[in-house]
Structure 1
Amino acid sequence: MTDQPEETGQPETGRPDDAALAYAERLFDLAREGATAELAAGIDAGVPVNLTNSKGDTLLTLAAYHQQADTVRALLERGADVHRLNDRGQSALVCAVFQQDEGITSMLLEAGADPDAGTPSPMQAAQMFNLPRMAVLLEASRRS
């Protein structure tokens, strides 16, 4: 008898195999592309709704940045965290503001996204990029 673990040929516990990594990358592509039904099916089957990539971007962040309103809605319905920041301190809301997408910005605000969270915050981004319509939306959410 030895103290060495038996070799099973299986990946180390806690480390995804190549197929799992490829599937995760596919999910991020689905968020970018707005393939809502397929992405929602994956989440409904057990994929974490707040899955992040190597940069800390969530599915919600990518969908918001790529202006995929139906995908954003589906992710929110499944409990996506609107407060989650990526590794650069950016939120899904700042992505929607930067893209000047009023519909997604409103959806995220209604879901509780903070116009003052992150670096830059959505409000700072609206001011920095001279986006007065976005600033009005954000300011209105502060008052409600």
Structure 2
Amino acid sequence: MTDTDISASKTMTEDEAAEFAEQVFDVARQGNAVMLERLLEKGLPADLRNHKGDTLLMLASYHCHADAVRVLLNHKADPEIRNDNGQSPIAGAAFKGDLAVVRLLVEAGADIDGASADGRTALMMAAMFNRNEIVDYLISQGADPHATDAKGITALGAAQAMGATVTIEQLSKMGVQPARS
């Protein structure tokens, strides 16, 4: 086999490259921190995005894989990159209720009050689904419980809309109003 043959045999077709990329995103979705570490050490970009704009960090965060999130952050994955729907990793982790992942993202510099295109913050996502520990943590880290989404609704209003009774009580005790008057 000549050098030309070797080079040619190492080149992936577009279909093979697409299949490989999908496998890489599955590694993040499944939280395989060891494999992510190996791929990143080989030069995989930490902020690689799929066809929906999801980064590896977004997928690992949304699927509640703290070890994979830690590996990606150690390789300088940007916690502020949003997907094509404007969703951030911290909002995904708050929605899913994973406090450990939320903490990792905050420690890595995620914007506590960063909002999606509709103006919803991680605090609002946590409030909507009775993620009380996350609500407490985000507020303790400076999240604004009085912030409003694009419709003028606060975290309390979002919790009320979803019937998140524990969060409603929690935020009401803080003096939060359901909407900006």
- TM class by shorter chain equals 0.7 to 0.9
Q: Larger C-alpha radius of gyration, 1 or 2?
A: 2
Residue among 84, 94, 98 paired with 2:95: 98
> Any idea what the Cα deviations from partners look like across 1:24-68, whole Å, max 9, x if unmatched?
101100001111111221111111100011111110010011111
> Whole-Å Cα distance in 2 between the matches of residues 118 and 59 of structure 1?
20
1:6 is aligned to none
2:128 is aligned to 128
> Whole-Å Cα distance in 2 between the matches of residues 137 and 42 of structure 1?
32
2:164 is aligned to none
**Aligned-residue offset at 1:129:** 2.6
**Aligned-residue offset at 1:101:** 0.8
**1:1-144 to 2 correspondence within 5 Å?**
17-119=14-116, 120-142=120-142
Question: How much identity, in percent, do the aligned residues show?
Answer: 40
**Aligned-residue offset at 1:127:** 2.6
Aligned-pair RMSD on alpha carbons? 1.7
> Any idea what the Cα deviations from partners look like across 1:2-28, whole Å, max 9, x if unmatched?
xxxxxxxx9xxxxx7122111110110
Report the TM-score, using the length of structure 2 for normalisation: 0.67
SS in 2 for 1:88: coil
Counterpart amino acid of residue 134 in structure 2: M
Greater than 3 Å deviation, 4+ residue runs: none
Q: Which moved more, 1:16-25 or 1:94-103?
A: 16-25
Counterpart amino acid of residue 40 in structure 1: E
Q: Is the 8 A contact 1:85 1:118 kept in 2?
A: no
> Whole-Å Cα distance in 2 between the matches of residues 81 and 18 of structure 1?
28
Report the TM-score, using the length of structure 1 for normalisation: 0.83
> Any idea what the Cα deviations from partners look like across 1:64-112, whole Å, max 9, x if unmatched?
1111111000000000000111111111101111111111111111111
Aligned length: 129
Q: Where do 5+ consecutive residues of structure 2 fail to align?
A: 1-7, 144-181
> Whole-Å Cα distance in 1 between the matches of residues 130 and 98 of structure 2?
14
